[in-house]
Amino acid sequence: MSQYESRTTFESNRDPMAKVGYARVSSVGQSLDVQREKLGDCDKLFEEKRSGTTDARPQFKQCLDYVRDGDQLIVTRIDRLARSTLHLCQIAETLSKKGVDLVVLDQNIDTSDATGRLLFNMLGAIGQFETEIRAERQMDGIKKAKDRGVQFGKRPALTTDQIAELREKRKQGTLIRELMAEYSLSKATIYRYLAENNA
């Protein structure tokens, strides 16, 4: 029996409502065991080890293609499913058009009822709000660091004269942290310039 025939036979024998699970971790080194255990009652389980921020999630695409009217798509947490509130809304719309309900176990969401849909939308909005707050704090931190004179990006290489000057100051007892501040270099870079002198 071919793979297509096997799948066709399986789908024709499916219950009117299938429980379809999707489990994801962000990296190859992480384990899916906890999610597998929670999704143990699913009729079919799609798994992958990929970041949620990437579009390249073939197992998730197959999962969306697989589910049909009357099915439930079950995940352990919302963040296993979508990379942003916009993406979450797009997935919810796709599922709604297909007549598929979404169940999120850890957050006790079931979009088959009004309360579940409300909670789903609220959690999505809160998640997006937290992401935007983190981004704002990061930008504030960068601005404050720049105001203190911290430079970002690749450090410019020192000229031959500057390297000689740096080495001479170190010989005279100038502290590493003082050299770092004066030349706007990291500790590792300062030590590299000093080590090259001894090579």
Give the mean model confidence (pLDDT) for residues 70-99.
Answer: 86
Report residue 5's pLDDT band, with 50, 70 and 90 as the boundaries.
very low
The yes-or-no verdict on residue 7 having pLDDT over 50 is no
What kind and span of H or E run contains 19?
A: strand 19-25
Report residue 108's pLDDT band, with 50, 70 and 90 as the boundaries.
confident
The yes-or-no verdict on residue 33 having pLDDT over 50 is yes
Looking at per-residue confidence, does 10 or 47 come out higher?
47
The yes-or-no verdict on residue 4 having pLDDT over 70 is no
- Cβ(106)–Cβ(76) below 8 Å: yes
Report residue 129's pLDDT band, with 50, 70 and 90 as the boundaries.
low
Q: Assign residue 173 a region: left if phi > 0, alpha if psi is -120 to 50, beta otherwise?
A: left
Give the mean model confidence (pLDDT) for residues 32-41.
Answer: 94
Annotated catalytic sites, by residue? Answer: 26
What kind and span of H or E run contains 65?
A: helix 58-66
**Cα–Cα distance for residue pair 124/135, rounded to 1 Å:** 17
- 110: helix, strand or coil: strand
